[in-house]
Amino acid sequence: MNGFEKRANLIKEKIMKTTLEMLRTSDPKRIRIADISKMAKVSQVTIYNYFGSKEALLREVFKNYFDKAIRDFEEYMNEGHSLKEKIEHIIFLKKESYKDFPPGLIKELLMEDNELSRYIEEQYRERTIPLTVRIIKEGKDSGEISDDVSTQNVLAFIQLYMNQYETILEMAQKSEDMNNFLEGMAHMFFYGVCGKR
């Protein structure tokens, strides 16, 4: 990579980082290229040259964020943690991602951008699900998951939990101790309401 390409990549990264920071506090519809330009200290022309449109920029920012999240997820899953630690990581990952992208924002971006929606679905299907299935298989092989429970059962249970995570997070925020509340939910995920036997 020559000097020009390095500078171009640095400018692109700066624009994307600025846009991500703005998305954490602003509705995407209210963010203007002019605002991004001012905060990133680059010209509007530069932004259009690199991304073409605000929609393309938002798509690129979200894809980049999602790719990094998957890479981090894969890295964690390959570090030799116990099954319980891995499943807790999956559950609590949502909490961290909601700090950057509230669920309403994610839904809005996916509804308005078919290309982004297809990309996320493809990544989920081709990378996230196979990795989760591998973790479940390892858990069954090690005896941490009962042979009476199928891989499909565990995947369905995780999916049910994730589908309600927005509600669980709202309850946690209203509780006296958010982290303790979420740890209790993770405990119930593994042991049910009766606890360990």
Range(s) of the chain covered by CATH 1.10.357:
54-191
Range(s) of the chain covered by CATH 1.10.10:
1-52
Please give the model's pTM, rounded to 2 decimal places: 0.75
Q: 63 and 119 in contact (C-beta within 8 Å)?
A: yes
The CA distance from 126 to 132, in Å, is 11
CA 89 to chain centre: 12
- CATH number corresponding to 54-191: 1.10.357
* CATH 1.10.10 corresponds to the domain 1-52: yes
Count of helix runs (H) and strand runs (E) in the chain: 11, 0
- What residue has token string 């299935």? 133
pLDDT of 160: 85
- Per-residue DSSP letter, 79: S
Query: What are 82-128's pLDDT values in tens digits?
Result: 888 887 777 676 666 666 666 667 777 778 888 888 998 899 899 88
Q: 132 and 145 in contact (C-beta within 8 Å)?
A: no
